[in-house]
Amino acid sequence: MTRLSVGVQSFNDAHLSALGRVHDRAQALAAVEEAAQAFDTFNLDLMYALPGQTLAELDEDIHTALALGPPHISIYHLTIEPNTVFAKYPPAVPEDDMAYAMLDRLTELTGVAGLQRYEVSAFARPGHRCWNNLNYWQFGDYVGIGAGAHSKLSFAHRMVRQVRYREPLGYMDRALAGQAVTQDDEVARADLPFEFMLNALRLKEGFALQDFTARTGLPVTAIQAALEAAEGKGLIQRDFTHVRPTERGFDFLSDLQALFLPT
C-alpha cells in the first residue's frame, strides 16, 4: 500500500460533533501527521457546507489542512441522504449561494497552494492524482474483493455490475462455497451513455470521443443531441476529438449529467 486516505471531514470540533464523528481536532491532526511520515503520498477527506458553517470557518479548515502539506485533498459538499438522522431532523445548512461561495473559496485556496482541481471534488499536486479513482471516472473496469465490495466488468457485448454479500462472516462462508456474489446485473444498453457521462464529466479534462466508443461500444451519434444541448447551455467545450466541462458545467454538474439520461 502506497497511499492512505484520512477521513478528517473538518478540524472544527463543533462540526465534527454535528456530523456524529467519533474523533476530534487533535486526533485528526495527529492522524494526518502520522500519515505524512509513513506514506509517500496521502489524501485528506474534507467536507463543506456543514451545519452552521460560516465562510470564515471553512477558511480555517482549508488553511489548517494546507498547512499539513497534503499531496491530495478530496472536498465534498455535505449531502443529506435518505433514511439518515439528518434526513429525519434536517440541520440548518448554508444556503446555495453561500455553498457556491465556499466552493469558490476552497478552489482558490487550494490552487494558490499548488493543488490542481482535476476532478469535481479532487485537488492534487503534480504526480499525486488518485489512479484508482481516475479509473472509475474513465469508466474503467474494477474487481471488488471482500464483504460488500462492488465490481464493474466489461465483456465483448455486455457490461455487468456485481455486489458481494455484505456481512463479513457470512461473506466468508459464501465465498468458500463460490456464492459470494449476491447481485449480478447487466447494464442496459440504453443506460450506457448516462453511466459513462456520470463518471467522465467529473474530470476537468473531460474525455476523448474515441474513449466513449471504446468503453460503451456505442457510436458517438448516440450522444450527439445531448452534446449539442450541453454546448448550447455553455456546460461543455468540444472539438472533433474531445469533450470538456466548462467552469459553468463543473458548477452545475448534475444538470449537465442529466442531459444524458435515457429518454
Structural domain spans, the chain: 3-128, 130-187, 191-258
Only one residue has cell 457485448, namely 157
CATH of domain 191-258: 1.10.10.10
- Section 37-42 average pLDDT: 93
Residues 91, 109 contacting (CB under 8 angstroms): no
Question: What CATH class does 3-128 carry?
Answer: alpha beta
Residue-level pLDDT at 84: 86
- The answer, yes or no, to whether residue 1 has pLDDT greater than 80, is no
Starting at the edge strand that comes first in sequence, how are the strands of the sheet with 72-77 ordered? 3-9, 41-48, 72-77, 122-124, 116-119
Q: Which of 77, 2, 22, 27 shows the shortest CA–CA distance to 11?
A: 27
Q: What percent of the chain is modeled with pLDDT above 70?
A: 100
Bridging pattern class, strands 72-77 and 41-48:
parallel
| Residues 180/163, Cβ–Cβ less than 8 Å | no
* Amino acid (one-letter) located at 58: L
- Asked if pLDDT for residue 31 goes beyond 90, the answer is yes
pLDDT in tens, 106-136: 999 999 999 999 999 999 999 999 999 999 9
pLDDT exceeds 90 at position 83: no
pLDDT digits (tens, 9 = 90+) for 205-256: 999 999 999 999 999 999 999 999 999 999 999 999 999 999 999 989 999 9
Mean of the per-residue pLDDT values of the chain: 95
Which pLDDT does position 109 carry in this prediction? 97
pLDDT band of 3, cuts 50, 70, 90: confident
What local confidence, expressed as pLDDT, does residue 213 receive?
A: 96
- Note the pTM of the prediction, 2 decimals: 0.89
